[in-house]
Structure 1
Amino acid sequence: MKSSYLLPNKYKTIGWVFFLSGIISGIFLQIYDSPENIFDIDIINNLGFEYLDEVISVLIIIGGLIVGFSKEKVEDEFIHKLRHESLVWAIILNYIILFFTVLFLYEGNFFTVLVYNMFTPLIFFIVRFNFLKMKSSSDEE
């Protein structure tokens, strides 16, 4: 099946680099709560990291889109079906989380979940698609 919206497979590696570096950097930023705590050196602090969270968000979004929408080495009907099912599953799960967030969280906690909710469709899609792909290849062996 020919899908015109998919990028060539050669971009997948750079997508993984962007995506994983964004995820890892985002985790560190959340653990240390601010860029100044990550870089506890005065010289580095003076460089100004006020846009670090935006850079991390861009890395996750661009990397996730490249990883999620790059062709596989063998792009057949089965892969197309896995991609479609994973995307539907990710969107449904994302809105289930959003539904419970609206019902049970308020103020700052609500906003925090909404920020994470920007990335969850991509993350859920990539995890589910790659899990199903890996599971199907292990079933064939």
Structure 2
Amino acid sequence: MRNHFLLPHKYKAFGWVLLIIGLISGILLYATDFEPDMLKTSVLSIYNGDSLFSGTDKGWFKIIENGIIDELSALAIIIGGLLVGFTREKVEDEFIYQLRTESLVWAIIVNYIILALAVIFVYDMVFFNVMIFNMFTPLFIFIIRFNFLKLKSNSHDE
């Protein structure tokens, strides 16, 4: 079976490395609020200010100084997760395609159930933190479920 949207299998190991590095650095950054000055640089900000409607002179499309370690961690998680989730398996057949599809649908449904519960029960800045984590949960749920089902099917085959 030919899946045009999947990357070659050789990228999966690199994806795991990026994902693990991103997760470790992201957890450390979140837990410690540490941001080293060595990764502070000038970056283009599409909007710089506290609010889109604040009326301040901060404005649109500004060059600002920013620590980029959190952005690098997020990109490592996103790119690593996409590589892990969307590279071909060594044997990519219709069963794997079905597991992949079911896992993706399941991940989206579970993600939005979690989000709906957060909208109802979580408020203020804690909700903002939930939204940050919610960027990554579809990928995490998909990767965990897909690999769990794949492992489960392999153990039944033996």
Q: Does 1:61 align with 2:52?
A: no
TM-score (norm 2): 0.80
Which whole-Å CA distance do the structure 2 matches of 1:8 and 1:48 have between them? 33
Aligned-residue CA RMSD in angstroms? 1.0
Q: Does 1:73 align with 2:64?
A: no
* Alignment match, 1:87: 104
Q: Does 1:47 align with 2:38?
A: yes
Q: Comparing both structures, which one devotes a greater share of its residues to helix? A: 1
Q: Comparing both structures, which one devotes a greater share of its residues to strand? A: 2
* Alignment match, 1:41: none
Q: How does 1:1-141 map to 2 (within 5 A)?
A: 1-35=1-35, 45-48=36-39, 50-141=67-158
* Alignment match, 1:42: none
Q: CA deviation at 1:123?
A: 0.5
Which whole-Å CA distance do the structure 2 matches of 1:48 and 1:8 have between them? 33
Q: CA deviation at 1:46?
A: 4.3
Q: Counterpart amino acid of 1:47?
A: M
Q: CA deviation at 1:31?
A: 1.8
Percent sequence identity over aligned pairs: 57
SS of the residue 1:47 aligns to: helix
Which whole-Å CA distance do the structure 2 matches of 1:88 and 1:137 have between them? 22
| Structure 2 residues not aligned, in runs of 5+ | 41-66
The range that moved more, 26-35 or 130-139, is 26-35
